[in-house]
Amino acid sequence: MFIDNQPVVDLIEMRGGIFTMLDDVVKGPGKPEQKDAKFGTLLDSKFTSNKIFVPSNMHRGINYAAFSVNHYAGQVTYSVEKFVEKNKDNLFSDLYDMMAGSTDVFIKSQFNVAQGAKVSSPTAKKQIHF
């Protein structure tokens, strides 16, 4: 028997879905320690009426710390604790650092290390030649 999983995929990946909201919270303003709760609250407010989404208030004693998705194989619960931190894209700071280390004067001037991230990764020490 075929079970159409498209509604689950849409909930997670569609524009305005869980991944989009996660990206918005990661990149948006706010203190890092408050972003997980903000993410949980946003999910609850947007998807409460979605039959596939189970909001945090349906989980006893959790208070915006988890949500569930009804997959084809059953309900799966996700904790939002450290969700935002784990989904940060560190590539940008590494790329920024690497560009700041370029031997090209113009490129280097566009990526001033003092204004950007600290040079801390092995990738950042590589030289770029244009």
Q: Higher-confidence residue: 59 or 124?
A: 59
| pTM score of the predicted model | 0.63
Q: How far apart are CA 24 and CA 101, in angstroms?
A: 29
Residue whose token pair is 């349906």: 58
pLDDT digits (tens, 9 = 90+) for 59-73: 666 666 888 999 888
Output the CA torsion sign for 22, 45, 37, 56.
negative
Q: Token pair for residue 119? A: 């040079």
pLDDT band for position 15 (50/70/90)? very high
What are the chain's domains? 6-86 (1.20.58.530), 91-125 (no CATH)
